[in-house]
C-alpha cells in the first residue's frame, strides 16, 4: 500500500474544510483576526517621534532668541506648549506630562552672539521615557547646530569647509511604518498559522471523531497533510491580503520579486502549521492547545524576532535563543523583499532556514500524531 495516497489525502482535506466552514470561531480567526491585528498594530506601533512638547524659558526676550525658538518650531519636530518665566517650572511640567523638553535661553543671548562670544543654551529633558528623551535630545542638538551655522554664515560671511549631504536608502522618509508593517506580516502569520492548526487534532479528540478516523486506512502523514492543506490555502490568502493592505493602507513599498516572496511564505506557513498540529496532537484539548500555541508563537515572534527590539542589543545568551525563532529569519525575508527588493542570492540563508522549518514542523506533527485510541 502506498505511503501517500492522493485520494485519501484529498478526502481528509475536504473533511477538514467542511469542519472549518461549520466552525465560526475558526473562520473569524482565519480571516478577520489577521487583518484586525495588522491594522491595529500598524497604527498603534510607531517609533516616529513628532510634535515633541517644548516649553521655552526666554530670559533674553530679543529677536534673536525668538529666532532660535522659531528654528525649533520650523524643524517639524517640536511644538511650543508653554512659555514659563522660571526654569523651576520644568519639574511641574514634567510631572504632569505637559512637556518633554524645556529650552532655557540665558539673558544676554543676542548680545553675546553679536560679539561672537559662545553662548550656552540649556535643554532640560524628561528622561522617564528614555527612548523619546534620547531622540528629542538629538533633534535639539541638530536644531541648535543648524541655527549656529546660520548665524556664523550671516555674521562673518564664511563658507563652511565641509557640508554633509545624507541620502537614506530603502526607507527614504525614515518612517517606522515601513519597518513595522512587513514585520507584522511575519509575526501575524506565525501566530495565526499555529493557532489555526492547534485546534485540528484536539477537536477530533474532544468531539469523539478520532475513533472513526482511527478506523480508516489513512496513514499518519495523510492525516497531517490533509488537515494542513485547507489552512495552508487560508494562510497564503491572509499573507497576500495582509501584504496588499500594507501597501495600500500604509503606503509601504513592495520592491521585490513577488513569486520569491510567495514561495518563501508558503515554506514558512508549512512550518508554522505543522507546529500547530504538533501542539494539537500533544495537548488533545482545544483550550490547552490554544494557550500553548499563543505562548510558543506570540511571545517569541513579537519579542525575540527583531521585530520590536534589535537583536544586536540583546544580551548574548538571548541572542543565541533568537536563533531558534523562525520569525527572525522570515522577518529578514519580508523586510528585504518589501523595502530592499533583494533576490534569492541574498536571501539564500533565510530560504534554507525556511525549508528546514517546514521539514521540522511537518516531521514533529507526523511523529506526535497517533491514530491509536488509548486503552
pLDDT at position 103, please?
A: 92
- Domain limits of the chain? 8-45+175-368, 52-156
pLDDT at position 154, please?
A: 59
52-156 CATH, one of 3.40.50.1000, 3.40.1710.10, 3.40.50.460, 3.40.50.2300: 3.40.1710.10
pLDDT at position 319, please?
A: 92
Backbone CA torsion sign across 41, 44, 45, 46 = positive
pLDDT at position 216, please?
A: 76
pLDDT at position 159, please?
A: 47
Alpha helices in the chain (DSSP H): 6-22, 24-27, 33-44, 63-74, 89-95, 109-114, 130-156, 177-197, 200-207, 210-214, 220-249, 258-283, 286-303, 316-322, 326-335, 344-368
Q: Per residue of the chain (375 residues), give pLDDT as tens.
A: 446 788 888 888 888 888 888 877 778 878 888 888 888 888 887 777 788 999 999 999 899 889 999 999 998 889 999 998 887 888 888 888 889 999 999 898 888 887 777 788 888 999 888 778 888 898 898 888 888 877 766 554 444 454 555 677 888 777 888 888 999 998 888 888 888 888 888 877 777 777 677 677 788 888 889 889 999 999 999 999 999 999 999 999 999 999 999 999 999 999 999 999 999 888 878 888 888 988 888 888 888 998 888 898 889 999 999 999 999 999 999 999 999 999 999 999 999 999 999 999 999 998 888 766 555
Strands 101-105 and 122-125: antiparallel
Amino acid at each position: 500500500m502506498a505511503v501517500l495516497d492522493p485520494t485519501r489525502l484529498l478526502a481528509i482535506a475536504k473533511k477538514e474544510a467542511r469542519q472549518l466552514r461549520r466552525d465560526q470561531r475558526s473562520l473569524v480567526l482565519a480571516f478577520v483576526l489577521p487583518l484586525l491585528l495588522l491594522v491595529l498594530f500598524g497604527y498603534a506601533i510607531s517609533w516616529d517621534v513628532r510634535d515633541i512638547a517644548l516649553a521655552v524659558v526666554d530670559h533674553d526676550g530679543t529677536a534673536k532668541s525668538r529666532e532660535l525658538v522659531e528654528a525649533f518650531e520650523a524643524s517639524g519636530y517640536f511644538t511650543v506648549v508653554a512659555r514659563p518665566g522660571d526654569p523651576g517650572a520644568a519639574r511641574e511640567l514634567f510631572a504632569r506630562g505637559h512637556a518633554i523638553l524645556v529650552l532655557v535661553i540665558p539673558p544676554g543671548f543676542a548680545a553675546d552672539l553679536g560679539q561672537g562670544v559662545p553662548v550656552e543654551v540649556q535643554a532640560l529633558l524628561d528622561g522617564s521615557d528614555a527612548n523619546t528623551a534620547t531622540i528629542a535630545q538629538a533633534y535639539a542638538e541638530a536644531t541648535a547646530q543648524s541655527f549656529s551655522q546660520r548665524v556664523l554664515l550671516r555674521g562673518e560671511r564664511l563658507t563652511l569647509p565641509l557640508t554633509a549631504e545624507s541620502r537614506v536608502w530603502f526607507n527614504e522618509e525614515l518612517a517606522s511604518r515601513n519597518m513595522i508593517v512587513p514585520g507584522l506580516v511575519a509575526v501575524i502569520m506565525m501566530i495565526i498559522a499555529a493557532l489555526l492548526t492547534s485546534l485540528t487534532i484536539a477537536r477530533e479528540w474532544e468531539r469523539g471523531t478520532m475513533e472513526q478516523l482511527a478506523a480508516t486506512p489513512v496513514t499518519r502523514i495523510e492525516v497531517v497533510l490533509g488537515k494542513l492543506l485547507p489552512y495552508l490555502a487560508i494562510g497564503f490568502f491572509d499573507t497576500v491580503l495582509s501584504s496588499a493592505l500594507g501597501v495600500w493602507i500604509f503606503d509601504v513599498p513592495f520592491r521585490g520579486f513577488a513569486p520569491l516572496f510567495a514561495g518563501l511564505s508558503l515554506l514558512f506557513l508549512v512550518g508554522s502549521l505543522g507546529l500547530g498540529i504538533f501542539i494539537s496532537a500533544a495537548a488533545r484539548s482545544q483550550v490547552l492547545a490554544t494557550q500553548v500555541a499563543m505562548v510558543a508563537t506570540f511571545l517569541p515572534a513579537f519579542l525575540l524576532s527583531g521585530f520590536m527590539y534589535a537583536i544586536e542589543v540583546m544580551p548574548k545568551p538571548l541572542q543565541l535563543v533568537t536563533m531558534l525563532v523562525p520569525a527572525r529569519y522570515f522577518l529578514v525575508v519580508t523586510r528585504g523583499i518589501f523595502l530592499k527588493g533583494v533576490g534569492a542570492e541574498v536571501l539564500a540563508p533565510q530560504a534554507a532556514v525556511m525549508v528546514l522549518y517546514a521539514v521540522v514542523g511537518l516531521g514533529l506533527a507526523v511523529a506526535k500524531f497517533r491514530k491509536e485510541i488509548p486503552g
